[in-house]
Structure 1
Amino acid sequence: MYPLPVERWKPLNRTLYKASLPLALLIWLLPMLAVLVTSIRSSDELSQGDYWGWPRHFALIENYGTALTQTPMLHYFANSVLITVPSVIGAIVLASMAGFALATYRFPGNTAVLFAFVAGNFVPIQILMIPVRDMALKVGLFNSVWALVIFHVSFQTGFCTLFLRNFIKQLPFEMIEAARVEGASEWTIYWRIVLPLIRPALAALGILVFTFVWNDYFWALCLTQGDEAAPITVGVAALKGQWTTAWNLVAAGSVLAALPSVLMFFLMQKHFVAGLTFGASKG
């Protein structure tokens, strides 16, 4: 039922597997390495068609300085922060309360509500483009940070609720019943008992939602116009010129756009792994 551990493979298969890992890693990292090298390449080398050779002149400070000071990258970055942070907090808060209710309360329609959250994750986001855009125009939220915040909170809450409900369901229900017998309110149980116990899951979910929202390009393109509320993903695309494109600046902007989510993962790596393995073993 489960894959056989690598240690129990045949010697030949194990050797081929270990030999193929560096090759697969190189192929996977090649586009990222190309972007990094392009971000420190001078414009003269790019105009001469030198895309894959090692840079003869390093323009690290020049390219990144230009991307930060002579383009609206800092404005795009601020918009991304204003969109991502409230979206992550809002989605996790709503999902934790909904997951707590679905995991601990027994009421008619509990399963149907859970299925509704699950079904929402299977809806292709492309078919929602026109209705969501029209709704944002009608309520006056189009081309605003709040339009993206409200949409991301709404769309991410379903996945987060399913994720947290399964974690809360693994907690000993007798502990919650004992707290109720002692007179603790439902809010106290939720705030002082459930949330501290699922802290690794909250950390893992926070990293996932942060990455989803920060890297979003589709909805940022649909719900914004111009530079006023555009996040950094749209801002990088806006660095392309109408007639010619400074690909070194685009590459530098792409690196700056990806840096927060990469740093977030490495800083929270222990919590992320602990959250994904939370409840995987007992004893």
Structure 2
Amino acid sequence: MVTATSTSPARRNHASRSPWFHVVMVPFTILWLAPILFVVLVALRNFDDIAARGLGALPASLSLDGFAGALADGRVGRALVNSAIVTVFTVVASLALASAAAYALSRFHVPLRRTILLVMLAGNLLPPQILLIPVSRITQDLGIYDTLTALVIVQVGFGLGFYTFVLHGFMRSLPGEIFEAALLDGSGPARTFWSIVLPLCRPALAALTALATTWIFNDLIWAMTVLRTEAQFPVTAALLNLQGGFSNSWNVIAAGSLVAAVPTAIVFFVFQKQFVSGLLVGSNK
């Protein structure tokens, strides 16, 4: 008599805890952490130590002079506020528009629906370098050049296609019985979207929020394209000016970079659980 055999959960867990996995992953982890640790060590050194022993030396003593210098420069604080404003308005506007567009494309008969999705996705495949001059000229013609409004509009325009494509796939996977039950209860399209679809899309929205915040907050190319006045610069552009003003003070530059990385790290840790859930959606189908 032939019996089917199956791997027990204990054996699978034992296999997943194989030491070879950690042996292989340790070098990759060290390689990934090395630049971050290097920047942290440079930020914690003082100017005299770096000037005397070079950037590659271990710190003789720890100092917070770099952080004091970066925070004392008003450009960094103002740039952080500008980046926060642009990021918040862009993320909210992008996901709101993308959610509505994805809902319409996934649940209603829209002519040329597939073509619309392909065009929106293809727009994200264009290299941004070939669009720098046209985008700059368009913002000048519209009279919004060198304003945070221009940067928000550009970021929304270039991110909307990707967000819509992702949310469309998520909404298409929602069971049709949910919408049939909502229709029987007298729920209209707007109420169904607000009360049912958006709550069910929370993992996907959280994942996109984390990704969009990182992309927008760390963007430099569009900021340098549509902004000119230093007072309007986000933190990435301000760090370039900081390098120009403190060309030899690498501890100040490194400290400013770490300060600029804090907001995106906070967003990721806040949405970490939902972010992982959003990435795993559909993995068991």
TM-score, normalised relative to structure 1: 0.90
Gaps (5+ residues) in structure 1? 1-6
Query: Which residue in the other structure is 1:231 paired with?
Result: 234
Gaps (5+ residues) in structure 2? 1-10
3-state DSSP of counterpart to 1:228: helix
Alpha-carbon deviations, 1:244-279, whole Å to 9, x = none?
431111000000111111121122111100111123
Pick from 41, 58, 66 the counterpart of residue 45 of structure 2.
41
Partner Cα separation in structure 2 for residue 38 and residue 205 of structure 1: 33
Pick from 134, 138, 143 the counterpart of residue 141 of structure 2.
138
Partner Cα separation in structure 1 for residue 245 and residue 71 of structure 2: 20
Contact 1:144 1:228 in 2 (8 A): no
Contact 2:66 2:254 in 1 (8 A): no
Provide closer, same or farther for how the CA distance between residues 213 and 54 of structure 1 changes in structure 2, counting only shifts above 3 A.
Answer: same
Contact 1:76 1:230 in 2 (8 A): yes
Pick from 28, 31, 34 the counterpart of residue 35 of structure 2.
31
Pick from 99, 103, 108 the counterpart of residue 105 of structure 1.
108
C-alpha RMSD over aligned residues: 1.9
Displacement of 1:243: 8.5
Partner Cα separation in structure 1 for residue 74 and residue 191 of structure 2: 49
Question: Following TM superposition, where does structure 1 have runs of at least 4 consecutive aligned residues deviating by more than 6 angstroms?
Answer: none
Letter in 2 for 1:54: L
Provide closer, same or farther for how the CA distance between residues 70 and 118 of structure 1 changes in structure 2, counting only shifts above 3 A.
Answer: closer
Alpha-carbon deviations, 1:183-233, whole Å to 9, x = none?
222110110110011111111111111111001011111111131210001
Displacement of 1:47: 1.4
**Matching of residue 270 in structure 1 with residue 249 in structure 2:** no
Contact 1:99 1:168 in 2 (8 A): yes
3-state DSSP of counterpart to 2:151: helix
Pick from 222, 225, 228 the counterpart of residue 222 of structure 1.
225
Contact 1:104 1:173 in 2 (8 A): no
Query: How many residues were matched structurally?
Result: 271
Query: Which residue in the other structure is 1:191 paired with?
Result: 194
Letter in 2 for 1:35: V
3-state DSSP of counterpart to 2:282: coil
Letter in 2 for 1:153: V
Partner Cα separation in structure 2 for residue 50 and residue 161 of structure 1: 48
Partner Cα separation in structure 1 for residue 279 and residue 246 of structure 2: 47
Contact 2:246 2:252 in 1 (8 A): no
**Matching of residue 59 in structure 1 with residue 63 in structure 2:** yes
**Matching of residue 166 in structure 1 with residue 173 in structure 2:** no
Letter in 2 for 1:139: L
Partner Cα separation in structure 1 for residue 245 and residue 282 of structure 2: 53
Contact 1:217 1:234 in 2 (8 A): yes
The percent of aligned pairs where both chains have the same amino acid is 35
Displacement of 1:16: 5.7
Judge which range, 177-186 or 247-256, deviates more: 177-186
Letter in 1 for 2:93: G
Contact 1:39 1:248 in 2 (8 A): yes
TM-score, normalised relative to structure 2: 0.89
Partner Cα separation in structure 1 for residue 142 and residue 67 of structure 2: 39
Letter in 1 for 2:109: R
Partner Cα separation in structure 1 for residue 209 and residue 79 of structure 2: 22
Displacement of 1:93: 0.2
Provide closer, same or farther for how the CA distance between residues 114 and 274 of structure 1 changes in structure 2, counting only shifts above 3 A.
Answer: same
Query: Which residue in the other structure is 1:4 paired with?
Result: none
